[in-house]
Structure 1
Amino acid sequence: MNEIIRNARIVLDDEVIVGNITVTNGVISNIANGELRTKSGVDFDGDYLLPGLVDIHSDNIEKHISPRPNVTWPSTFAAMAHDADVVGVGITTILDAISLSNAISLGGADGSRTKLAREIIDGIRVCQKADALKAEHLFHIRCELTDVDMVDRIRQLGDDLPISMFTLVDHTPGQRVFRDIGTWRNYRKKGRGLSDSELDRLLDAELDAQRRYAGPNRLAIAAIARERKIALAGHDDSSVEDINEAAALGSSASEFPTTIEAARLAHSLGMKTIMGAPNLVRGKSHLGNVSAQECAEKGVLDILASDYVPVSLLQAAFMLTSEPLGYALPQAIATVTSNPASACGLTDRGRISIGSKADLIRVRYTDGLPVLRCVWRSGVRVH
């Protein structure tokens, strides 16, 4: 089956052309310059044709499965609501970020986080089997290194779960995102209402868990990633040592580096630097770490992830084209399409090129506002 999209501003890898594409059996089969006068196909009337967005890290489903404190929504309905959110903002491939951990540092010692993770995975898998989801949902497993059982939990997921990335996460105070222990104390006190004496005991327990488990877990998870050909990323890297350690393990990316020094080194070593799109839209990190804008200004921003706000992905990409950043549009769009796709080995999508999947979005850009008009996945219109 052929579908023609005509009279579009087509964003390619390194240029924008006015032209047309042909989609055959879900794949882009032809790209041509110039206006097409036929009345067949879809007339874009000068709107942008972009690759479908690839979101490398999303926590969005959590707000649907836990819409209120002490409320758990049925996981299948939560998955469908989450899917509607992401397709409705142009995301055609999403890596749902799942924390399996019962680590003390995440407040998961009661098993609640592992239970939530299992419900999320099961809900998405049931919906996939029922063909109830419009985006392609893959999994990004956040591996908390201080959890004694983390490696066993990864193995229990089985080989058939479509995992595209492992991230090595360590929330132990005194390093990375919580280099300042005072910041950690304030964050934990606000989030969990702990007293000073309770925080002291929690600090001792987290430091002990890190000493015992972080090193062995890091090596074991990296080995699983190599064996199963799953992309590996560092997380909250803050120092030269953090980046060099991640690179030595074979990491293809540094997710949410907390300092410009770490971001710069990761980029120079060929690791993709991932920053949160909400960080760019808001102009700052919610934890006071390096901003996505500073990384962009220094030329070390490679990938934007929606993190907890799906709509931020398209907004942030177009923000990169405005002053003071001034990215060319193809370079900006690559941060939410081809760059995240390549970082996790998805070479069949993320760009408009012959042979690529016809995951496509139509965007009208008016008065600084990117407005999504249509979404196609594998050539089928889904929004």
Structure 2
Amino acid sequence: MTALDLTLVGAQVLTETDGLRSTDLSIAGGYVVDARAAKVVDLSGFFVLPGIVDLHGDGFERHLAPRRGAMKQMNEGVLAAEAELAANGITTAVMAQFHSWEGGLRAPEYAAQVFKAIQTVQGDVVTDLIPQLRFETHMLDDYAGLVERIRDWGVQYLVFNDHLPHAKLAAGKKPPRLTGQALKAGRNPEKHLEMMQEMHRRSPEVPQALDQLCAALAEEGVLMGSHDDQSAEGRAIWRARGVRLSEFPETIEAAEAARSGGDPIVLGAPNVVRGGSHNGNVSAAELIAMGLCDALASDYHYPSPRRAALMLAKTGVLDFSDAWALVSSGPAAVLGLMDRGTLKVGARADLVVLEQGTHRVAGAFSGGRISYLNGDLAARLIG
């Protein structure tokens, strides 16, 4: 599909300097331009906003593996996920895939299939899809060759996780949900527990292994982040390794440490929509009000970035421009994608069109190409 050559008139457009205002917007060749196009479309009754840049989302899992064992058409799953992304106004999407001892949909071999599928369909999708690897820090046997594997997978964005229940393991107690987790991973529960205990036992080896791995990844130019930071000390340790992105910090202390160190902070949009964390961590809205957020991510729910930005504006936590920046220019800057996130002349023509009355997504354009189109907007464009 070629990029459209259009001038949109009558809409409320989110401009870079003047906020929402009624103005014309022209796109051509995949970019925002200042020359008026031959085809003019009246978008009265709509908002035209920068497309959503989603820094971290795993909502695609339900498409790639709709039920246990149904994982044989990965390419079709990625295409279905892209349709959902576009329908929610997401024009650039980071697809976050685990590489974890937890197995199942988080298993290393499954991750390889997911990344291969993303590579395979890149030429068939409109939405810009970016793979992210979520690597479990205590998988020491998997460090060897990891840099080469992520190079083959086309991964340039990695986040470190540690989901081992260390407190339970240190106390010699059986972790909760052990049996169900083991069965999902296709393991005997006793063997699963032994594996967890062995990884916990080797914890003293992890820091040095991480130092070496992070240095190698930095040489490859990989963007690195830490997940669920809990303390200022922990954030400082990650920063010293070149792991600058703080993804979903769990405490105000960790978020403040990230801000004071100049590290970008990513929070979960569902946390904003829900009014708090589902597991008792610090409220994202509270951190945003404190100025401790650079970007909101879908996490597990693709409608949430749009809903969270609108909610922050409606409740007065931020003005509309600043609220929308958390799902557009903010995450674009974190990713180093300075060609998108705003609707200024010369920017990539990534935009989302919302109905003014309902705030529902009516259309999405990525690189000037239509990724989603619905209702009255479709009629106007076709007409």
Q: Shorter-chain TM-score: what band?
A: 0.7 to 0.9
Q: Secondary structure at the match of 1:141?
A: strand
Tell me the amino acid that sits aligned with residue 128 of structure 2: E
Q: Secondary structure at the match of 1:216?
A: helix
CA shift, 1:316, in A, is 1.1
CA shift, 1:197, in A, is 8.3
Distance 1:62 1:111 in 2: 8
Distance 2:38 2:120 in 1: 41
Tell me the amino acid that sits aligned with residue 204 of structure 1: Q
CA contact (8 A) 1:13 1:334 kept: no
Structure 1: stretches of 5+ with no match in the other structure:
none
Distance 1:200 1:66 in 2: 26
- In structure 1, the partner of 2:119 is 125
- In structure 2, the partner of 1:273 is 265
- In structure 1, the partner of 2:8 is 5
Tell me the amino acid that sits aligned with residue 291 of structure 2: G
Q: Residue deviations 1:9-45, cap 9 Å, x none?
A: 22134522220122121111229xxxx9x99422220
CA shift, 1:333, in A, is 0.9
- In structure 2, the partner of 1:261 is 253
Distance 2:302 2:368 in 1: 22
Q: Residue deviations 1:23-74, cap 9 Å, x none?
A: 121111229xxxx9x9942222042111111111111222122212333241
- In structure 2, the partner of 1:375 is 364
**Counterparts in 2 of 1:1-383, with a 5 A limit?**
2-14=5-17, 15-30=19-34, 40-101=39-100, 103=101, 107-108=102-103, 113-128=107-122, 131-157=123-149, 159=151, 161-174=153-166, 185-186=175-176, 188=178, 191-192=181-182, 201=194, 204-212=197-205, 214-323=206-315, 325-366=316-357, 369-383=358-372
1:183–1:295 CA distance, 2 compared to 1 (3 A): farther
Tell me the amino acid that sits aligned with residue 72 of structure 1: M
Q: Secondary structure at the match of 1:376?
A: strand
Q: Secondary structure at the match of 1:309?
A: coil
Distance 1:348 1:183 in 2: 51
Distance 2:284 2:169 in 1: 19
Q: Residue deviations 1:358-381, cap 9 Å, x none?
A: 011111242xx4211111111122
Tell me the amino acid that sits aligned with residue 22 of structure 1: S
1:233–1:182 CA distance, 2 compared to 1 (3 A): farther
1:121–1:200 CA distance, 2 compared to 1 (3 A): closer
Q: Secondary structure at the match of 2:314?
A: coil
1:151–1:199 CA distance, 2 compared to 1 (3 A): closer
Distance 1:294 1:271 in 2: 18
Q: Secondary structure at the match of 2:291?
A: coil
Distance 1:375 1:182 in 2: 52
CA shift, 1:202, in A, is 5.9
Q: Secondary structure at the match of 1:290?
A: coil
1:295–1:123 CA distance, 2 compared to 1 (3 A): same
- Of residues 53-62 and 200-209 in structure 1, the stretch that sits farther from structure 2 once superposed is 200-209
TM-score with structure 1 length normalisation? 0.85
Distance 1:357 1:140 in 2: 22
Q: Secondary structure at the match of 1:185?
A: coil
* Root mean square deviation of aligned Cα: 3.1
Q: Secondary structure at the match of 1:284?
A: coil
Tell me the amino acid that sits aligned with residue 176 of structure 2: N
- Of residues 145-154 and 43-52 in structure 1, the stretch that sits farther from structure 2 once superposed is 145-154
Distance 2:150 2:189 in 1: 41
CA contact (8 A) 1:95 1:164 kept: no
CA shift, 1:199, in A, is 8.8
Tell me the amino acid that sits aligned with residue 30 of structure 1: D
Tell me the amino acid that sits aligned with residue 76 of structure 1: N
CA contact (8 A) 2:6 2:38 kept: no
Q: Residue deviations 1:128-169, cap 9 Å, x none?
A: 2xx321211111111211112433353233536443421122
Distance 1:52 1:58 in 2: 16
Tell me the amino acid that sits aligned with residue 335 of structure 1: L
CA shift, 1:181, in A, is 8.1
1:248–1:159 CA distance, 2 compared to 1 (3 A): same
1:341–1:258 CA distance, 2 compared to 1 (3 A): same
Q: Residue deviations 1:301-346, cap 9 Å, x none?
A: 22111111111111111111122x5311111111111111111211
How many percent of aligned residue pairs carry the same amino acid? 27
Tell me the amino acid that sits aligned with residue 156 of structure 1: E
1:42–1:220 CA distance, 2 compared to 1 (3 A): farther
Tell me the amino acid that sits aligned with residue 118 of structure 1: A
TM-score with structure 2 length normalisation? 0.85
1:156–1:237 CA distance, 2 compared to 1 (3 A): same
Tell me the amino acid that sits aligned with residue 331 of structure 2: P
